[in-house]
Amino acid sequence: MMSSSIDALNAQHTTTPAQDIVNLAIRDIFPERIALVSSFGTESAVLLHMVARADRTTPVLFLDTLKHFDETLAYRDRLVARLRLENVRTVQPAASDIVATDADGMLWSSDPDACCRVRKTRPLEREIMRFRALFTGRKRHHGAARSVLQPFEADGPRIKVNPLVHWDNADVSAYLDRYGLPRHPLADKGYPSVGCAVCTSRVQPGEDFRAGRWRGTGKVECGIHKMLRPD
């Protein structure tokens, strides 16, 4: 899909409701060629629910870094059962990569970018090769580079579909309440954004939504939402 086509999609769907964008992507634009990449984090239930409403057989890629909070894994299992998701695929780092680069499991403390490459970027890169497009739950209110997100964006040979770009915390909370969806167990314990347990800390009142991610390192993204290139 050329950039002009993406520009046309964004111009046409700048105010299209999120559920309609999900339906359109699954049924019309990318039938059987789109997957949802989900962290099963604090806001994940919204997009998972929308995808389930459109087609429960849509592939959901869960990137298991082997460093997740136990609460996240339990939340994943609860949502899969609640939404009756039929095609959840767990993506893990290759055992050989872990042995070669992070045998003691402490790479996150010395080189978090390298840790993300071996535990996130490489495994996901292998898995997404079969898809033409990917759903993400990124939103403009997250700030930084996300503040200029569009519903559709080019990412190398693939298209990223971001149905929730205009949503904020209030929208997410209202949606969860409307459909009776469970909240992440850590959401009310000072973790508005949850990643790996070793790299996520509590956020204090007044801090940025993602302040607890890689605190003190200057790192703001894990890399999976940037252009994926071979190492």
Residues noted as catalytic:
222
Phi/psi at 101 (5° precision): -120, -20
DSSP 8-state symbol, 53 = H
The encoded tokens of residue 97 equal 């990569």
Length of the chain: 231
Closest CA to 182 of 89, 80, 69: 80
Residue 160 near residue 136, CB atoms below 8 Å = yes
- Exposed (0-12), middle (13-18) or buried (19+): which is 71, by Cβ within 10 Å? middle
